[in-house]
Amino acid sequence: MIFLENEHLKASFSSKGAELQSLVSKATGANYLWDGNPEYWGKFSPVLFPVVGALKNGTYLFEGNEYKLPRHGFARDNEFKAEKISDTEAVFTLNQNEEALKVYPFNFTLKLHYKLIGTNLSCTYAVLNPGTNELLFSIGGHPAFAVPTNEKLNYNDYFLEFNKDENLTYYKINGDLIGDETDVIYMNNHSLPLTHQLFYKDALVFKTLKSDTISLKNTNNAHGLSFSFKDFPFFGIWAAKDADFVCLEPWCGIADGINHNQELKDKEGIIVLPAKGNWERTWSVTCF
């Protein structure tokens, strides 16, 4: 485990999956992150790499060969090399290895760089291509935030506030894949009330979200968080059935569509990184 701390926040991370596992306010003692109760969902904030979501039939095709990958890829289950840079910064690194190359025939370096500044925690995904061929990948975040953080409140006291969207058009999930059918949630004042029933049919998946900041607030006090995710073209919102959390998931990539031909090069949202190239995206959470 690695621990970061400043005057406002304390955070803990596991080298397995480079996973953020707690984010605690020093002023209130509240943990903004889900506690990982395995009765509902035994993770906290996994990184999704080298695919986001499920593959059609659990497989993809590349250069005439068929490969299998689990939902959300393998990075979340691998040990990263952990380096604590300072009291407020840490970097976790994962490189290709023999096991990874059997299911994902690409050379890569994946780094997660966490940094505390004031009441903000940022997470930067950096992907480097050390090879001589193109690197094809998707990547995304899956942080689960506690709802409620205060034992006097309940789930229905909370809502999500979108900084730009007035209504939400989402894609329905069809057997773990993205269907062609959409639906619309009509919001009042950019706000989506949280209910457990909202996620009974799986995640809400967005391809056309205008917002780049979503705030988690409640109707009883001024505490909450703002989640910022500029330049992530896809987004998911999810919770396990009747669990007291909400996942805010910024994605560069998305699960296969029901009509996908399974060719990795044709996968929606796939990123193509040239030889010796590098790529970065950052999401951050500000606690208040």
What span, in angstroms and rounded, lies between the C-alpha atoms of 22 and 36?
A: 10
What span, in angstroms and rounded, lies between the C-alpha atoms of 114 and 125?
A: 9
Q: Which residues contact 212 (CB under 8 A, 6 or more apart)?
A: 163, 164, 228, 229, 230, 231
Q: What is the pLDDT of residues 28-55, one digit of tens each?
A: 999 999 999 999 999 999 999 999 999 9
Q: What is the pLDDT of residues 276-288, one digit of tens each?
A: 999 999 999 999 9
| Tokens read off for 253 | 């990539």
Q: What is the pLDDT of residues 69-80, one digit of tens each?
A: 999 999 999 999
User: What is the Cα gyration radius of the chain?
Assistant: 19
DSSP code of residue 33: B
* First-to-last C-alpha distance (Å) of the chain: 25
Are 15 and 79 in contact, with CB atoms under 8 Å apart?
A: yes
What's the pTM? 0.96
Q: CA of 135: how far to CAs of 54, 110, 131, 139, in Å?
A: 19, 12, 8, 12
Q: What is the pLDDT of residues 108-137, one digit of tens each?
A: 999 999 999 999 999 999 999 999 999 999
Q: Which domains does the chain have, with CATH numbers?
A: 2-287 (2.70.98.10)
